[in-house]
Amino acid sequence: MNAPAPGLPGSGLPASRLPASRRSAAAAIRAGTGARIGLVAVALIASALFPLVFTNQLVLSMAFFTLIYIAAAVAWNLFSGYCGYISLGHAVFFGSGAYAAGIAARDLQITGTAEFALLPLAGAVAALIAIPFGLIALRVRRHTFVVITIAIFFIFQLMAFDLKTTGGTAGLYAPFLVWGPVVFNQRFYYMALLLAAATVLIGWLVRRSRFGLQLRAIRDDEDRAASLGVRAMPVKLTAFVISATLTGLAGGLWFFFVGQVVPDSGFNPIFDLTVALMAFLGGLATVAGPLLGALIIEPAQQDLTSQFSNGYLSQILLGALFLAVVLFLPRGLIPTVGGQIQVWLARREPHLPAAGRGSNEPAADQQAQASGAVAEGTSL
């Protein structure tokens, strides 16, 4: 051990002294980045061309709901996945976004395409609600936090039923759009695509930032993070508000598409379970996990609902899938599959890490690299 004491001058390590394993790891990470950029480009092009290839109205409407759920699940993960506070009250923001747009459209007598000017309001109202919600709920952790989010959710659902301004059980109607059915679905598809893509971008930016690292440190050990200078409450609350804003935007856009919101559809407990399941299935705290989860679950759910008259079947299957994921795939698809691929690659080329100027512990090196690659995989 000949590294000089930190804080003393002249402690830089020349690059040639870097172990070979670290240089090859760096190359692997560069290759991984290239592959990821390619994957994102292909996904963006494919989703942009999708409505031109699939003109079936049912397919397009399914695609719209899937994009809304992608935005909602990625937004949920940005808070709950990153910092480990499992919220089962995000429907509060989804419903508030929808109701805010509906109430404003009715009271300001907004018609036609002018309704889209209300979308920022949907996000802003959700954000405003998230501040007191977060200040109350984020004082407690784990199970207590979950229970409080559920309680607050039911307060909002009851308000939607009982307040005069929310229209009671009849709910609210969105302004009528004089668009033909094809144009209608296509335009909404692209708006939802924009929202989903922006949400994924924000999720990625947060994941790689200092802020995101603070969130994940809070998830692992909040008190320890505090003793390393992380100001836990403002960090958690900021993530909660960002997540709520994006969820509120998704709620507003969803409302304009379906044309009506009632208490049970705006403040729907199944919404909370669904977004949580999507994130769990794909991989909590990964960027692409909730996207993948939504891509699998939402079309399946839509298909089941349209094929069977019994609407409860898809909910029963959803519950069963949740159990299966928690029991058999606790880390989620992306970390599990990513880890398997890396282990497989490491086994296939056993001499790669120790190549060249040797480290004296090739086995340990290889192990470190394999587990490191797993960690890289989780950041996908």
In the list 15, 228, 323, 327, the residue contacting another protein (rule: CB under 8 A) is 228
**Nearest distance from residue 274's CB to another protein, in Å?**
25
State which residue, 209 or 306, has the beta carbon closest to another protein: 209
Q: Is 377 in the site for another protein (CB under 8 A)?
A: no
In the list 10, 14, 180, 229, the residue contacting another protein (rule: CB under 8 A) is 229
Tokens of 311: 């609407």
In the list 60, 63, 206, 291, the residue contacting another protein (rule: CB under 8 A) is 206
Q: Is 359 in the site for another protein (CB under 8 A)?
A: yes
Q: Is 137 in the site for another protein (CB under 8 A)?
A: no
Q: Is 5 in the site for another protein (CB under 8 A)?
A: yes
Q: Taking each helix axis from N to C terminus, what angle separates 57-76 and 20-53, rounded to the nearest 10 degrees?
A: 150
Task: Name every residue whose Cβ is closer than 8 Å to that of residue 134 and which is 6 or more positions away in sequence.
Answer: 236, 237, 240, 241
Task: Name every residue whose Cβ is closer than 8 Å to that of residue 251 and which is 6 or more positions away in sequence.
Answer: 93, 94, 95, 96, 97, 98, 101, 122, 126, 266
Residues 198-235 as b or e (16 or more Cβ within 10 Å = b): ebbebbbebbeeeebebbebbbeebeebeeeebebeeb
Q: Is 201 in the site for another protein (CB under 8 A)?
A: no
Tokens of 351: 């001499």
- Angstrom distance (rounded) from CA 325 to CA 319: 10
**Nearest distance from residue 353's CB to another protein, in Å?**
10
State which residue, 217 or 292, has the beta carbon closest to another protein: 217
In the list 224, 307, 357, 358, the residue contacting another protein (rule: CB under 8 A) is 224
Tokens of 172: 């609210």
Considering only 58-66, 109-117, 202-210, 289-297, which stretch makes contact with another protein by CB under 8 A?
202-210
Q: Is 371 in the site for another protein (CB under 8 A)?
A: yes
Cα angle value 240/333/351 (rounded, 5°): 120
Interface with another protein (CB under 8 A): 1, 3-8, 11-13, 19, 21-22, 25, 205-206, 208-214, 216-217, 219-221, 223-232, 285, 359, 361, 364-365, 367-369, 371-376
